A and B are shown apart, each in its own frame.
Chain A
Amino acid sequence: MKIQVHYDRCEGHGLCAEQAPDLFSLDDDAELIYHAEGAEVGSEELVRARAAIASCPVAALREIP
Chain B
Amino acid sequence: MPQRFASSDAGDLYSRSAILDPYPHYSRLRAQGPVVWLERHKVFALPRYAECKAALLDDSTFVSGAGVALNPVTNRLARGTTLNSDGAQHDERRKLVAHRLTPRALREMHDQVDAQAGRVVASALERGRIDGVEDLATALPMSIVPDLVGWPEEGRDRLLAWGAATFDALGPMNGQAVRSIRPSVQMLRYAHGVAKDRRLREGSLGGDLLQAVDEGRLDAAECPKLLVDYLAPSIDTTLSAIASALYLFALHPDQWQALRADRGLLSNAINEVVRLESPLRAFSRKVAADTTLADVELPAGSRVLVMYASANRDELVWDSPEAFDITRDATQQLGFGHGAHGCAGQGLARLETRTILGHLLDGVERIELTGKPVWAVNNIIHRLEHLPLELIPAR
Contacts and interface: CB of A to CB of B under 8 A. Distances in A.
Contact of B347 (A13, A18, A31, A55): A13
B91 to A, nearest CB: 8
A1 B102 CA distance: 29
A7 to B, nearest CB: 12
A40 interface: no
Contact of B340 (A29, A31, A51, A58): A58
B331 to A, nearest CB: 4
Contact of A55 (B102, B103, B332): B332
B93 interface: no
Main DSSP-derived SS at the B contact region: helix
B217 interface: no
Counting contact residues on chain B (CB < 8 A from A), the size range is 20 to 34
Contact of B346 (A18, A54, A57): A57
Contacts, number: 46
Interface in B295-344: 329, 331-332, 336-340, 342-343
Contact of A18 (B57, B104, B267): B267
Contacts of A12: 102-104
A5 interface: no
Given A13-B347, A18-B267, A30-B104, A54 B332 contact: yes
Interface in B177-234: none
Interface in B320-374: 329, 331-332, 336-340, 342-343, 346-347
Contacts of A31: 104
B98 interface: yes
A19 interface: yes
A36 B133 CA distance: 45
Contacts of B342: 57-59
B340 A59 contact: yes
B336 A11 contact: no
Nearest to A9: B340
A55 B331 contact: yes
Contacts of B331: 15, 18-19, 51, 54-55
Interface string A33-65: 000000000000000000100110111000000
A58 B142 CA distance: 26
A39 to B, nearest CB: 24
Contact of B57 (A9, A19, A55, A59): A59
Interface of A: 9, 11-15, 18-19, 29-31, 51, 54-55, 57-59
Given A59-B56, A59-B339, 9 more contacts: A12-B104, A13-B102, A18-B267, A19-B331, A54-B332, A57-B337, A57-B338, A57-B346, A58-B340
